[in-house]
């Protein structure tokens, strides 16, 4: 959202979510356009330092009405898919299923669903509650989840940085390809191979 090239192609978010502010319905895109209109220099700041977007949208989290402008996680995944940020994942499987459903699974751990807490897992596994003991099945699940997060995260970063791909960056990526392949990060490896073999920058 910090970059205009994405804001101008945010059809999914524009259609999915909004909140009535005053006499009109506003979306996150409307909010960002309004603050840029009030202070045009913000647009250049965001292009240079994309993390600055968090400062601009922080008021949305503090106001109950404005909070409704924030797109749902599912809408965000759908928008990222439309921007092809999950390529090559999205050529093989629906990112809503692969990424969003996985996010819901991880959220159960974060938001303390009883069966997903450490104590809850111990009870379900028939273990002593207060003894330090590794539960092999849970450790395996954790490593599988971490592996998947790594693969998705690297793919997202590669797609965001693809436009600045050059011979130097291709060489750097090629040097890391073996390690990613050995780690079984199949989507990330596929993306790197495609980037290395692409001639010229992506339009």
Tens digit of pLDDT for each residue in 33-84?
999 999 999 999 999 998 888 888 888 888 888 888 888 899 999 999 999 9
Residue 23 pLDDT > 90, yes or no? Answer: no
CB atoms within 10 A of CB 159: 20
Distance, first Cα to last Cα, the chain: 19
Greater confidence (170 vs 132) lies with 170
- Copy the structure tokens of residue 136: 């092999």
Banded pLDDT at 195 (limits 50, 70, 90) = very high
One domain, residues 103 and 182: yes
pLDDT at 86 over 60: yes
In this structure, are 187 and 111 located in the same domain?
A: yes
> Given 23, 55, 71, which residue is the final one in a domain?
71
Average pLDDT of the segment spanning 16-29: 73
- Cβ-contact 116, 147 below 8 angstroms: no
Domain for residue 119, yes or no?
yes
**Model pLDDT for residues 156-173, shown as the tens digit of each residue:** 999 988 877 788 889 999
Q: How many structural domains is the chain composed of?
A: 2
Q: Do residue 129 and residue 105 come from a single domain?
A: yes
Which of these three, 71, 87, 112, is where a domain ends? 71
Task: Provide the token pair at 78.
Answer: 């759908």
pTM: 0.78
Domain hosting residue 46, numbered range: 4-71
Q: Is residue 202 part of a domain?
A: no
Closest CA to 141 of 176, 115, 170: 115
Chosen domain end from 34, 53, 71: 71
Q: Are residues 181 and 132 in the same domain?
A: yes
pLDDT at 203: 40
Instruction: Say if 203 falls within a structural domain.
Output: no
Q: Are residues 123 and 177 in the same domain?
A: yes
């Amino acid at each position: 959202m910090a970059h205009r090239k994405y804001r101008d192609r945010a059809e999914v978010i524009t259609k999915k979510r909004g909140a009535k502010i005053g006499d009109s319905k506003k979306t996150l895109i409307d909010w960002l356009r309004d603050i840029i209109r009030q202070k045009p220099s913000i647009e250049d700041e965001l292009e240079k330092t994309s993390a600055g977007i968090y400062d601009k949208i922080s008021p949305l989290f503090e106001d109950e009405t404005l909070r409704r402008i924030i797109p749902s996680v599912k809408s965000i995944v759908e928008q990222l898919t439309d921007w092809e940020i999950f390529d090559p994942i999205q050529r093989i499987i629906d990112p809503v299923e692969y990424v969003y459903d996985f996010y819901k699974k991880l959220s159960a751990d974060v938001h303390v669903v009883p069966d997903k807490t450490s104590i809850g897992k111990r009870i379900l596994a028939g273990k002593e509650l207060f003894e330090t003991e590794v539960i092999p099945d849970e450790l395996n699940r954790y490593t599988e989840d971490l592996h998947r997060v790594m693969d998705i995260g690297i793919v997202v970063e590669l797609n965001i940085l693809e436009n600045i791909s050059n011979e130097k960056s291709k060489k750097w990526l090629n040097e890391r390809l073996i390690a990613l392949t050995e780690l079984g990060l199949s989507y990330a490896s596929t993306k790197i191979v495609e980037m290395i073999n692409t001639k010229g920058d992506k339009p």
